[in-house]
Amino acid sequence: MNAVEIEQAISDLALKEFDRHEFPFAFLQAFGNKETTLKRLRSGSSNKSDIGGVLQANNIHILVSDQGAVTQNLAKLKDSPATTKSKARFILATDGVDFEAEDTDTGETVACAYQDFPDHFGFFLPLAGISTVQQVRESSFDIRATSRLNRLYVELLKDNPEWGSAERRPDMNHFMARLIFCFFAEDTEIFYKNGLFSDTVSQMSERDSSNTHEVISEIFRSMNTKRDLRSAEGIPRWADVFPYVNGGLFSGTTETPKFSKIARTYLLHTGSLDWTKINPDIFGSMIQAVTDEEERGSLGMHYTSVPNILKVLNPLFLDDLRAKLEEAGNNPRTLLNLRKRISSIRVFDPACGSGNFLVIAYKQMREIENTINERRGEEGRKSDIPLTNFRGIELRDFPAEVARLALIIAEYQCDLLYRGQKEAIQDFLPLANENWITCGNALRIDWLSVCPPTGKPSVLLATDLFEDQVKQDLVNFENEGGETYICGNPPYLGSTWQSKEQKQDLAEIFEGRTKNWKLLDYVSGWFMKAAEYGLHSNSASAFVATNSICQGQQVPILWPAIFSIGAKISFAHTSFKWANLASHNAGVTVVIVGLSASNFKQAKLFSINDTGSPVVKYVDFINAYLVSGFDVIVDAKKENANGFCEMIRGNTGNDGGFLYVSPDQLASMKLHPKDQARFIRRVYGSDEFINGSIRHCIWIEDSNLEAAMAIPIIKDRIESVRTTRLNSKDPGARRLAAKPHQFREMNQPLESMIVIPRVSSEARPYLPVGLMPYPNVISDRNFAMYDAPLWNLAIIASRLHWVWIGTVCVRMRTDFSYSNTLGWNTFPVPYLTEKNKTDLTKCAEEILLARESHFPATIADLYDPVTMPTNLREAHERNDEILERIYIGRRFRNDTERLEKLFDLYTVMVAKNGITKSKAKL
């Protein structure tokens, strides 16, 4: 269950009649406990309570009592030896009237009326194993509001199925945006009286809900009618109390979906929340999921957290503003200049969703402006930062609407914070008619038309919340002369997931610029457009992206094109997990890349150090792999650059599976042991190698063919291989039909082979390279080095090699995809003396022996990052020690240092043959 689902479940529980016997179980169920767990607790078999309550070990001790004994019971729970013994983190006492609880880990407590306990659901989330509790707690309101609006939305669609159709969906979205505005306005005195909207709906609509839609529609009509026109327009007296809002929000049709009794109740419940607590950045991201069928399941739980957004915005420009503020001290003139500069800064997010990057940027700039005002003795001064300087492009209409709403709410909240309630309200209404969030495809729109450079007017019509584009005024910047900062987290979308239209978007941008653009992630389009924008405007940009654009095959395709037009990486954040709250989603691994065409003194390279804290390093140049050093691109090589042994792919079947034999099939073949020894071999693909599963194959040397064909079951299989190959569309496979008894290659070692799986999980701290003796066979799911000296294994098993492969080879989701030409042949190794080779051979033997000592553990067992055996880990450490000393005379401090050294060596290594600089390749 995710946080929203839990919130729904406990809100339902609080609404039900209190049942003192059932409450503890219902409470645990709301936090995702399964029926079987509850059954065991009910029967007492797993209930550890020593005071007649319900105690779930490691979680919670609950005591329900007669009225009036709640505080004493909480003390009893605290003193109970069972609470301590069973390590119950939470204690909870209630009588159905009062509710008290404590988190025994942190000492935090909750005391409230019983019906209000769902307000504290964030407090109990560790019960459901949700650990990002701080984040959830900070956004408790947003989760509750999303949850309620979600229920309302689903109910309304049930009552009005036609509003769910493609044509009516925008109307439904508009309606939701209007409601959100009303809920916010009624709690912030923008509507003069607290709760005015909900109270009016509650009082004026029938309890059977039959006219709810009419009442709401009249309220909307009133808010769209100027005061002096209201009597002529026949606005009823009860709706006349609402202010004139306009701003496009209530213009157009005021048609409202019909409400069932349940929907009306949901509406009033939603209104009863305290909407002053809304976080426009978080709420916006969550609420967009409500209107999106595919996303609704996760209910916006993958919203981008503020700290992550700041990882983009701070180095992009906010750090600099803060540094200038620091330098200015109390100098009024310098402060004034800084305020002027801030007021003309434009922030542009060309995939803005519901505007979270823009909202955070706005809030941060307001904070800096406020400090300036305070230092200049101008507290409460009206802000010079115009909302229209925060521009966005968003493909979907609802998030685009929410983005504008979110900015309006953020402006109000900042005014409230820095200027006071009276001033905040006085300047709030009517909303400005202009809009500056464009709904459209950012890869097709000319960014210069949405966000023109200084001195040029906007030429693209902005889409207003609901208005027809054609009626719009152009929205020009209020403060000319500013810098533009482009930011956001555009859709990542790997090449296989892109639609035809999205491929075409990329074609328009990259065709003629770079070869193989079809392999690029969709997000690449934003980088290229940002780099181009930088040619025409005083701007810098930074986006979050999947790390794949800075690894392996995408690097030589994308980055030469970007660098060739003068853009450089001004800052970057190396790979980190972009975690979110969706319980089913572990988060993607991302990078942040900042681009600038102007000269900057030093580039900033951020990374997460071994203890998980962020560190920054000032460097001269950041290359396309986000490594400080030379501007190089690693290209695949046919031969090993160090002159080491050849690594080749395992044997390819092209056989329809008929050369492979499962253990069951082998048993049913009933071969004579002599024939089995002659014609059957153990074969290793990556699953067999890593997970220890068993498979065999038919392996027939030409000289044995006649004898093999004399065995009917083998003959049948060979005939099936022949037919499969003959029917293949691939001419190469058809040619192989002439040798149906064999794999395409028949490679095998004289004595042994070093085996490297082509795909393996990045979670393993080392690449799971191994050694296989003759007569085993490996399939093309692995690479092999036949009869190579063992010190090669030591190199491949090293952390240095792991880091290189993770950077220059392709990654597939969270797996490494090993490549002989790109990973092995390019791997820079210093000259190895005979002594070095002997030392490394010993290291390899130790690794193999350490594995052997855990027989029959599989590679997957042995290299589990959590349970990896100590002796194996130590053997790898020794191997790293020996190898790294060969590189730099000591151990490397971290992976960043390893990569920098490898890139240095790589540069030297290929210099003789002409360095592959990041030139655009066509």
Ligand X SMILES: C[S@@+](CC[C@H](N)C(=O)[O-])C[C@H]1O[C@@H](n2cnc3c(N)ncnc32)[C@H](O)[C@@H]1O
Q: State the residues that interact with ligand X by CB under 6 A.
A: 285, 303-304, 351-353, 356-357, 393-396, 399, 441-443, 488-491
Long-range contacts of 617-625 (CB under 8 A, 24+ apart): 617/896, 621/568, 622/568, 622/569, 622/571, 622/572, 623/569, 623/903, 623/918, 624/550, 624/555, 624/558, 624/559, 624/563, 624/569, 624/918, 625/550, 625/551, 625/555, 625/807, 625/808, 625/899, 625/903
Decide whether 441 or 871 has the Cβ nearer to ligand X.
Answer: 441
Smallest distance, ligand X to C-beta of residue 318, A: 17
Decide whether 443 or 581 has the Cβ nearer to ligand X.
Answer: 443
Peptide bond preceding 399: is omega within 30 degrees of 0, i.e. cis? Answer: no
Tokens at residue 590, please?
Answer: 């991302």
Tokens at residue 446, please?
Answer: 């000319």
Question: 454 by DSSP, 3-state: which?
Answer: coil
Pick left, alpha or beta for residue 812 (phi over 0 → left; psi -120 to 50 → alpha; otherwise beta). beta
Decide whether 297 or 692 has the Cβ nearer to ligand X.
Answer: 297
- Burial (CB count <10 Å: 0-12, 13-18, 19+), residue 720: middle
Smallest distance, ligand X to C-beta of residue 292, A: 9
Smallest distance, ligand X to C-beta of residue 300, A: 8
Strand order in the sheet with 777-778: 660-661, 696-698, 680-684, 777-778
Cβ–Cβ < 8 Å for 259, 213: yes
Per-residue b/e over 347-376, b at no fewer than 16 CB within 10 Å? bbbbbbbbbbbbbbbbbbbbebbbbbbebb
Smallest distance, ligand X to C-beta of residue 125, A: 22
Question: Which residue has its beta carbon closest to ligand X?
Answer: 353
Smallest distance, ligand X to C-beta of residue 350, A: 6
Pairing of strands 810-812, 815-817: antiparallel
Smallest distance, ligand X to C-beta of residue 532, A: 16
Cβ–Cβ < 8 Å for 289, 295: yes
Q: CB neighbours of 180 closer than 8 A, spacing ≥ 6?
A: 149, 287, 402, 405
Decide whether 491 or 869 has the Cβ nearer to ligand X.
Answer: 491
Tokens at residue 560, please?
Answer: 């030469």
3-state SS of the chain: helix, strand, coil percent to 5? 45, 15, 40
Pairing of strands 752-757, 782-786: antiparallel
Smallest distance, ligand X to C-beta of residue 410, A: 14
Closest CA to 535 of 573, 497, 574, 567: 567
Decide whether 257 or 490 has the Cβ nearer to ligand X.
Answer: 490
Decide whether 287 or 843 has the Cβ nearer to ligand X.
Answer: 287
Decide whether 365 or 795 has the Cβ nearer to ligand X.
Answer: 365
Decide whether 396 or 503 has the Cβ nearer to ligand X.
Answer: 396
Smallest distance, ligand X to C-beta of residue 754, A: 42
Decide whether 30 or 523 has the Cβ nearer to ligand X.
Answer: 523
Tokens at residue 120, please?
Answer: 């504290």
Decide whether 211 or 441 has the Cβ nearer to ligand X.
Answer: 441
Where do we find the tokens 């009062």?
98
SS (H, E, C) 45-68: CCCCCCCCCEEECCCEEEEECCCC
Decide whether 101 or 542 has the Cβ nearer to ligand X.
Answer: 542
Tokens at residue 348, please?
Answer: 């542009």
Cβ–Cβ < 8 Å for 570, 543: no
Decide whether 352 or 595 has the Cβ nearer to ligand X.
Answer: 352
Smallest distance, ligand X to C-beta of residue 354, A: 6
Decide whether 311 or 801 has the Cβ nearer to ligand X.
Answer: 311
SS (H, E, C) 382-436: CCCCCHHHEEEEECCHHHHHHHHHHHHHHHHHHHHHHCCHHHHHHCCCCCCCCCC
Cβ–Cβ < 8 Å for 757, 686: yes
Decide whether 368 or 403 has the Cβ nearer to ligand X.
Answer: 403
Smallest distance, ligand X to C-beta of residue 588, A: 10
Smallest distance, ligand X to C-beta of residue 440, A: 7
Phi, psi of 50 (to 5 degrees): -110, 5
Peptide bond preceding 856: is omega within 30 degrees of 0, i.e. cis? Answer: yes
Closest CA to 826 of 547, 575, 556: 556
CA 44 to chain centre: 42
CA 210 to each of CA 206, 217, 256, 261, 384: distance values in angstroms, whole numbers, following the listed order:
6, 13, 12, 8, 48
Smallest distance, ligand X to C-beta of residue 201, A: 30
Smallest distance, ligand X to C-beta of residue 437, A: 11
Smallest distance, ligand X to C-beta of residue 511, A: 17
Decide whether 142 or 394 has the Cβ nearer to ligand X.
Answer: 394
Decide whether 395 or 641 has the Cβ nearer to ligand X.
Answer: 395
Smallest distance, ligand X to C-beta of residue 837, A: 50
Decide whether 442 or 875 has the Cβ nearer to ligand X.
Answer: 442
Smallest distance, ligand X to C-beta of residue 128, A: 24
Smallest distance, ligand X to C-beta of residue 657, A: 41
CA 88 to each of CA 11, 56, 117, 533, 780: distance values in angstroms, whole numbers, following the listed order:
24, 7, 19, 57, 52
Cβ–Cβ < 8 Å for 381, 366: no
Cβ–Cβ < 8 Å for 384, 418: no
Question: 243 by DSSP, 3-state: which?
Answer: coil
